[in-house]
Structure 1
Amino acid sequence: MKKYFGRIMGKDIFIFELKDKDLKINILNYGAIIKNILFKGKNTILGFNTLEDYINDTLYTGAFVGRNAGRISNASFKINNKSYFLEKNNENINLHSGSYCLSKKVFEYNLISNKELELKLVEEENQFPGNVDIKIHFKIKNNGLFINILATTDKDTIFNPTYHIYFNFNKNLNKDIGNHYLKINSDFYLELNKDSLPTGKIFSVNSTLDFNKFKRISKNLNDDFLKDQKGYDHPYLLSNSIINAEILNRDQKIHMKLKTDLPSLIFYSGNFIQENYYANNSSERCGFCLEPQFYPDFINKFNKNYILKKGEIYKRNISYSFF
């Protein structure tokens, strides 16, 4: 189903509805935004009711973030010995690609069926090198949302997107998410400095960061270890486990499993959500994100094999299954 939502840059924006069993997903062709994920009639993510709110949003709500998700130190990098300089939109850092973020682009669409949608965009060269041809395929099946991301480029470039969905399984979406139980199948994380940039060092998870067994999010949220980030905003290194992360809300009896073939997962506990941002009386921490992606700042600190090269195909998957 397709429903008109508004107009921007001379282009119509629609809500596309995908349905299967107890799951219903609403997706926009603006920013490839996932607007709603309803399980058994209960919305499980944060979002807005108007296109204007999404246009003015500064928290990347439900958005497809790219070309690069996360931070790039000094807002600069080198590829093939050529330097590239990006917008500094977070102190001396480029965060989520700045004003060039894909979350503010209008995608072409193909509604294949009431269970499948494909969004397409050719992003021309900007501060990042190369023209990138992007396809996002959504399929809903057996109460799961399966996302396949494909991309090619005509010049070696960074392509490191993620989905920035704020989850909240509470009956009242304005409520703090500290009561959720989280499990992340990971034994290692990337150390962060005070600017939330990786130092390049990898450590075993400590008691604060260890979510290998279900743990209430609020349990260690005020630990001194998390003060620099004002909460969790840490990259976990993923293995090839069957399930990479799980969320459980025991009050609402909602259980979600996340699976991806990307190498890291950022757990962000909504540290910079302001009161009343999403609605009157919404709390400061009314949503949290699980963001699959390459290692943050990999271009400057880690393996440059993550560079998308001319002639190669980026192909990655993310799935969310509800129980």
Structure 2
Amino acid sequence: MKQVTISTPFITLIVLDYGAIIQKVLVKDKNGKSVNVVAGYNTPNSYLEDNKFLGACVGRYAGRISNGGFELDREMYHLFQKDGVHLHGGKEGFGKKYWTIEEVHQGRQPFVKLSYHSKHLEEGYPGNLKVFVTYKLINNQLHIIHEASTDRTTVVNLTNHSYFRLDDESQINDYDLQLHCSKLVETYTDLLPTGKLISVKETSFDFLKKRKIGTTRLDTPFVLDSGSKIAGMVSSQKTGIAMEISTNQPALICYTPQEFPAICFETQNYPDAPNKKNFPNSKLRPGEIYKNESLFVFDLL
């Protein structure tokens, strides 16, 4: 397993070729101490046994798909499912594959670019898909760029699955969270979408104004407000570290696991969009380029 480190005076990023995983993101806290702000393992081989998608590139379709598959151009494609749900690309998905390190640049704006070739009907998805993910550092900013092209019509939804942990506390209740999301994708108990978008107002999911996470636990597809460049912000008073998220994607899935204190911000399309005609387009056709550009900016309060 290969490991690549790039850094600026503000951020150090460690990436693995396995799963295109972000292993560590090191930033300075208010006391000048270096803090790893993503949950993960110190030993790269430990990720071989991980089932939480820690730091991984998730695909071919991030999130949940219903009905054991989808219909595309009048043809049905069958996907692996568990309890009626297809999750994060299937049995393995991109987070369990070895990627090719295409390029490493250590200059003023360092980056690492990785690629993966997903063959036609891998995990049931049509089309030979060529995927690239680029992690780029500009001063105090982490840019994550997912790109893909295909030789036949398919569906694509890629994201990074890092769990952010801004301090060493045993819970995240005291994190301040703000989301520029007036609506969320309504889901059933199995977290598959109903097809409806509902208002967050007067619910525990209303983070339109900055407030403590408190006891609210999330596994929630939020809809980004149109016209808002910034999707959200999270911060820890203990370390003084704040992180701002912006993206060109329509949704921000926020997830707080029960097992450890952290929060995911998955910038992506709506879950189950291949089966919901009223959801944003998830199709990628030959000659088109899929692109998910997301930006994580670290600062001090």
| TM-score normalised over the length of structure 1 | 0.85
Of residues 91, 112, 116 in structure 2, which corresponds to 1:117? 112
Unaligned runs of 5+ in 2: 29-33
User: 1:171 touches 1:252 (CA, 8 Å); kept in 2?
Assistant: no
Spell out the pairing of 1:249-268 with structure 2 (5 A cutoff).
Answer: 249-268=236-255
User: What is the alpha-carbon distance in structure 2 between the residues aligned to residue 210 and residue 303 of structure 1?
Assistant: 22
User: What is the alpha-carbon distance in structure 2 between the residues aligned to residue 304 and residue 262 of structure 1?
Assistant: 10
Match of 1:293 in 2: 268
Q: Write the letter of the residue equivalent to 1:119.
A: L
User: What is the alpha-carbon distance in structure 2 between the residues aligned to residue 88 and residue 53 of structure 1?
Assistant: 26
User: What is the alpha-carbon distance in structure 1 between the residues aligned to residue 231 and residue 280 of structure 2?
Assistant: 24
Judging by fraction of residues, say which structure has more helix: 1
Alignment deviations for residues 100-142 of structure 1 (CA, whole Å, 9 cap, x no partner): 3100111111112251111011111211000101111221012
User: Does 1:214 find its partner at 2:210?
Assistant: yes
Q: Secondary structure at the match of 2:177?
A: strand
Match of 1:319 in 2: 295
Match of 2:142 in 1: 145
1:218 Cα deviation from its structure 2 partner:
1.5
User: What is the alpha-carbon distance in structure 2 between the residues aligned to residue 211 and residue 128 of structure 1?
Assistant: 36
Moved over 6 A (4+): none
Aligned length: 286
Q: Secondary structure at the match of 2:46?
A: helix
Q: Secondary structure at the match of 2:252?
A: strand
Match of 1:177 in 2: 172
Q: Write the letter of the residue equivalent to 1:74.
A: N
Q: Write the letter of the residue equivalent to 2:127.
A: G
Spell out the pairing of 1:202-241 with structure 2 (5 A cutoff).
Answer: 202-206=197-201, 207-219=203-215, 221=216, 231-238=217-224, 239-241=226-228
User: 2:184 touches 2:221 (CA, 8 Å); kept in 1?
Assistant: yes
Match of 1:94 in 2: 86
Alignment deviations for residues 268-296 of structure 1 (CA, whole Å, 9 cap, x no partner): 1113x2xxxxxxxxxxx411111111010
Q: Secondary structure at the match of 1:103?
A: helix
Q: Secondary structure at the match of 1:311?
A: coil
> What is the CA RMSD across the aligned residues, in angstroms?
1.3
Once the two structures are overlaid, the 10-residue window that deviates more, 46-55 or 73-82, is 46-55
User: What is the alpha-carbon distance in structure 1 between the residues aligned to residue 81 and residue 93 of structure 2?
Assistant: 13
User: What is the alpha-carbon distance in structure 1 between the residues aligned to residue 191 and residue 239 of structure 2?
Assistant: 33
Of residues 182, 191, 212 in structure 1, which corresponds to 2:186? 191
1:304 Cα deviation from its structure 2 partner:
6.4
User: 2:158 touches 2:292 (CA, 8 Å); kept in 1?
Assistant: no
1:52 Cα deviation from its structure 2 partner:
2.9
